[in-house]
């Protein structure tokens, strides 16, 4: 078997796997476990790529954190809330909740809240953001769900 035939064989197997997944999704099959497995593997690979060599003193934790944030964008800004609201609102204060519990309030733009998943239980979590005007009246709200892998 020549290299081109092997290459075509690999492409064909990948195509078959993708169409099989697509068929399962369209038929309504529960693929939650499979997606969780893919997600866990990707996270493990990212961590291994940043911590596989050397000791903790040599690892670039900032780069690791930045790459993990591309998988789990776990910060939300008021700009996102305003974009969803569809108009420029007179935002004066923003309150942040994690799993229904108050976490932070700020009246200083850019109204950020950062949460470290390192100290959270694995599983689904909700971050809710409420924007208020200068009279403390709610003018925008948004909830995002994030999943913390085991």
Distance, in Å, from the CA atom of 139 to the CA atom of 91, rounded to the nearest integer, reads 8
For the stretch 90-145, pLDDT in tens is 788 899 998 999 998 988 877 888 887 777 788 888 889 998 887 778 888 888 88
Does residue 110 have a cis bond before it (omega within 30 degrees)? Answer: yes
- The structural domains of the chain, with segments of one domain joined by +, span 1-30, 32-71, 73-148
**pLDDT band of 79, cuts 50, 70, 90:** low
| CATH of the domain spanning 73-148 | 2.60.40.10
Using the predicted structure, report yes or no on whether residue 85 has a pLDDT greater than 60.
no
Sign of CA dihedral 102, 104, 107, 111: negative
pLDDT digits (tens, 9 = 90+) for 8-39: 788 888 888 888 878 878 888 887 888 888 88
**Largest Cα–Cα separation, the chain:** 74
Global confidence as pTM = 0.43
């Amino acid at each position: 078997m020549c290299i081109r035939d092997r290459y075509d064989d690999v492409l064909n197997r990948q195509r078959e796997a993708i169409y099989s997944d697509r068929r399962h999704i369209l038929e309504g099959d529960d693929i939650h476990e499979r997606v969780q497995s893919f997600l866990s593997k990707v996270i493990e690979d990212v961590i291994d790529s940043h911590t596989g060599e050397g000791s903790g003193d040599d690892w670039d934790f900032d780069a690791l954190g930045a790459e993990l944030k591309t998988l789990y964008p776990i910060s939300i800004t008021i700009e996102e809330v305003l974009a969803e609201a569809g108009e420029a609102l007179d935002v004066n204060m923003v309150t942040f909740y994690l799993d229904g519990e108050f976490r932070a309030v700020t009246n200083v733009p850019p109204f950020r809240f950062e949460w470290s998943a390192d100290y959270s239980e694995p599983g689904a979590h909700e971050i809710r953001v409420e924007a208020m005007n200068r009279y403390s009246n709610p003018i925008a709200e948004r909830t995002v769900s994030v999943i913390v892998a085991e």
